Structures are given as C-alpha cells and as structure tokens.
C-alpha cells in the first residue's frame, strides 16, 4: 500500500466537511431522535475537531482553530 501525504489544506478541508456533515445530521434529527443519540453525533463532530487540532498543532493557519471549533458548538433554536 502506497503512503499518501496530506497537505494542511486537505486535512483542514476534510475535517471541516466531516464536522459540517455531523452537525447537520444532528440538527436535522434533533426533534425526532433521543437526545443522547444527538449528543453522540455532536461529540463525534467535536472529536473530529480535536483530531484536526492535534495533528495540525504548530502549523495552523490563523483563525482556523477558532472557526472549526465554533462549527462544533450547538445552536439550539
């Protein structure tokens, strides 16, 4: 298996896409699913942020950490 090298931009793009997907899934199901299930999905989104933060530490573009973390915050209407 060939090793793949990821750029910072690719890692950030994929993390952002995963966080968006999970938070949108949680928002769409908020009124129809068990609150514990929703909390797990939101926790997965935060986990994606934490992994991104760990592997990009020291190489992050200004504002990316704050932006991605803010994407994991729960906004209840």
Query: Residue 67 falls within a domain, yes or no?
Result: yes
For the chain (77 residues), the mean pLDDT of every run of 10, in chain order, is 92 98 94 90 97 97 97 77
Nearest to 65 by CA among 12, 24, 20: 12
Domain that holds residue 18: 8-71
In a domain, 58, yes or no: yes
Tokens of 21: 């997907």
pLDDT value of position 10: 98
* pLDDT at residue 11, as a whole number: 98
46 occurs within a structural domain: yes
How far is residue 75's CA from residue 77's CA, in Å, rounded to a whole number? 6
Q: What pLDDT was estimated at residue 45?
A: 97
Residue 18 lies in a domain: yes
**27, part of any domain:** yes
Q: Looking at the domain assignment, is residue 63 inside a domain?
A: yes
Tally of structural domains, the chain: 1
pTM of the model: 0.89
Among residues 58, 51, 70, which one has the least CA distance to residue 12? 51
């Amino acid at each position: 298996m060939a090793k793949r090298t990821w750029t910072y931009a690719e890692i950030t793009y994929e993390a952002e896409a995963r966080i968006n997907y999970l938070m949108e899934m949680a928002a769409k199901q908020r009124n129809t699913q068990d609150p514990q299930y929703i909390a797990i999905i939101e926790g997965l989104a935060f986990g994606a942020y934490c992994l991104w933060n760990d592997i990009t530490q020291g190489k992050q573009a200004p504002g990316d950490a704050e932006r991605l973390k803010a994407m994991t915050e729960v906004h209840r209407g």
